[in-house]
Amino acid sequence: MLALPLRNGPHSRPGHRPGGEKVAEAPKVRRLLSWIADGRTAAVPLFVLAAIERVAWTLDGHLAMLDTELRNAAISWAQTGWIADAFRPGSGPTAHVGAVPPVIPGLVFRLFGVDSPATAVVLTVFSALVVVATSLVLSRAFAKLGTPAPVRGAAVVLICLLPLHYELESRSLRIYENGDAALALALLLLAVVRLDQRRTIGIADSIGLSALTAFIVALSPSLSICAIAILGILAWRRLDWASRSRAAAILSAVLILTSLPWALRNETRLGEMVWTRGNFGLEFALGTHRGAVAPADPGAVYLTRLSQIHPHGNDVAYRAMQAAGGELPYSHRLGAETMRWVLGHPVPSLTIWLRHWREFFFPPPWMWFHTAPPDATMPIRLVVVDLIAAFALVGLFAALSRRQWLFLYLIPPVLLLPLPYLLTQPLVRYRYVIASLLIFLAADALARLTGRGQSGLRRTL
């Protein structure tokens, strides 16, 4: 950039400007942020600092593991090799949690003991590793989208060292798969934006993308819709009809190959070929019902509904599930009842779903309190998360309006991922899958708005 020369005054000397130290500091900060974004040695100190922060929080009275269906299934897998007992010991084989999510915590349970302090620390460190890896992979992806390195470095620092979701990352993600899903999504985005700029996309590329998508399908059914849509955009942009058919055949074959054993297991153990999870009817009934139309206290309504119909930790609902013939018939019955209510009350249902859309991107305080007790930082974090979501959404549509077509790949995770949760009940944990992605999108939008984005850099070269 051009700078006007300053006239020498009585307290100046050639080559010196008032405030020169501050001017010199700015390039140093930019170099540091660029190193964080792209430096090959940045990952290790980032991981160490991120792990120390989260382990310190864990050791400060938060060693206890969450009592969840996934924890119960992981304990069963660790002790017996079977994914079972999601609702309580002895509840039997389950498709409630999927095939992949219980494996990582279950493996740690085997090695370090169920619910031991060592297990809590190891899983917290693993969660920190996933958080850092996700941020750095997204940084590489956004480099392809034209986001400057200092801006990406600032996003990495915010995600890793100034955590907005430290309760989730230090406790919930010890058990839940949402962090792993965020990393898998970041890897898929990086792969497709790189392939989009390649001259050719071969069979090996299709196999690799299909394998990653199959893992996502087994890990997170809601994210699987986004993953397949992302591959569809790549095929539409870069492949001819013959190559599209070949890629679709490869994807179908890989999905069948990886999902069929789980489906056959469910048919044998539960009487039905469930390909991913069998809990949609239950979750649908939790989020869409008469009491959720215009609640004065949505959090209280959600917890009340949870206590009425969810079999985990609830004797009445558990007996109702047994009377229905098991978890799958019970979930199907709840889903059918909810659908009948929706068909009879379309306008109230739409009211619920519109509120859920807002809650997904702009979580109200009760959703944060559901994750952890409030602390002094929560009011600030609520505002920051809302601003990030607003800038991210505006930034995505602004990028598309500028014909930056690589941003098309961000449409599925940003706009399709929330759709299942409109019918159920969005929670902060569910939106975490795209929380880091939203931070990068917001950072890119702010940089362009202030002239420090890609277009601003071009003007100064």
- Mean pLDDT in consecutive groups of 10 residues from the start of the chain, 461 residues: 38 46 70 94 96 95 94 97 96 96 97 96 97 98 96 97 90 95 98 95 97 98 96 97 97 98 97 96 98 95 96 95 97 98 98 97 91 82 96 96 96 97 96 98 94 50 31
Contact present, 288 and 352 (Cβ < 8 Å): yes
**Contact status, residue 71 vs residue 65, Cβ threshold 8 Å:** yes
404 Cβ contact list (under 8 Å, min separation 6): 145, 146
pLDDT at 38: 95
CB contact at 8 A, 428 and 168: yes
Q: What's the confidence (pLDDT) of residue 8?
A: 42
pLDDT, position 450: 87
Name, in order, each residue with C-beta under 8 angstroms of 321's C-beta and a sequence gap of 6 or more.
87, 311, 327, 330
Query: What's residue 25's pLDDT?
Result: 65
Q: How far apart are the first and last CA of the chain?
A: 7
Q: Half-sphere exposure of residue 21, counting CA atoms within 13 Å on the CB side? A: 0
Give CA separation, 68 vs 86, 88, 127, 253, 312, in Å: 8, 10, 17, 34, 8
For residue 27 the two structure tokens come to 């390039």
pTM of the model: 0.92
Give the pLDDT of residue 80. 96
